[in-house]
Amino acid sequence: MARQRKKKGRPVSGWMVLDKPLGMGSTEAVSKIKWLYGADKAGHAGTLDPLASGMLPIALGEATKTVPYVQDGAKVYRFTVSWGEERSTDDLEGEVTRSSPERPDEQAIRALLPKYTGVIMQIPPQFSAIKIAGERAYDLAREGEAVDIPAREVEIGRFDLVEMRGADATVFEIECGKGTYVRSLARDMGRDLGCYGHISELRRTEVDPFTADELVTMAEIEEAIATAQPAATEEDEAPQAPRPGPDQWKALDALLMDTGAALDCLPQVVVNDDTAARLRLGNPVIVRGRDAPAQVDEACAFARGRLVAIGAIEAGMFKPKRVFSL
């Protein structure tokens, strides 16, 4: 019997800057958005645990080619550390492994913040996606194995104390680089302060270059679908919510950021339609214009406001490394 060919998704491209709700995993969120949009490809730029909420940039279609540029961007987190207990997962999900009646005062906490600002060495949590001898640390930890995870370098550009919630909890905000584990900060600060600590609330508010103003909630997505649904008839007393189709995709597509929005970190050049066609075929082109750079390792080209290619500029010649379809 002939093998049935897998049905391809539609060629939709762009960034969904999702406000991920509590309780939803990052993989689940990507699958949900991919299904709603009927997209051929999807991926995300930076995992958020189910117990964390906030910004999860999801790339659809051609935008998946720009994921590394968002993953490398600075991130802002607002989080609450509850003092007095250290937990196996360094957040509310785990079992209590250490406890203390001691509680830190504001002065002691503020005095500690410079130690965790700048380039620091950090040991990721036992329950993390770090690979140890080819296996995920959280899989080994769940099997009861002691996981020896080496410390690694991370960068925290800003570490602010936002609010003291009595003696038992403190709210912080940080701006940090790729690979920083907020749960590790709670664990390590608690140990330094002699009281132990764990994350009880965590929200990611920004992932560069996206801002909080660009967040889209699941409620807004559902509203866009409902607004575009055909009106129910009297026979449809309890209609099932069908998978979105062409009537709803137009409303959903309006919620996407353009693929090129991920590349604010790169120099940009504007090209005409003929030059764009040559770039999309992988051909180098001469970069014209008074402000065009003559030599950069990485730049992006746009035509009519749409991303055409990412490449290097050498001696005034744009050499495409990655091209984008219309």
- Crossing angle, helix 218-228 and helix 246-253, to 10 degrees? 140
Tokens of 97: 């492994």
Nearest CA among 78, 79, 96 for reference residue 87: 96
49 has catalytic annotation: yes
Contact 76, 175 (CB under 8 A): yes
| Neighbouring-strand partners of residue 85 | 99
Q: Is 137 exposed, middle or buried (0-12, 13-18, 19+ CB in 10 A)?
A: buried
C-alpha to C-alpha distance for 18 and 217, rounded to whole angstroms: 6
Q: How many of the other CB atoms lie within 10 Å of CB of 210?
A: 20
Q: Which of 49, 90, 91, 188 is catalytic?
A: 49
How distant is the alpha carbon of residue 192 from its chain centre? 30
Active site residues: 49
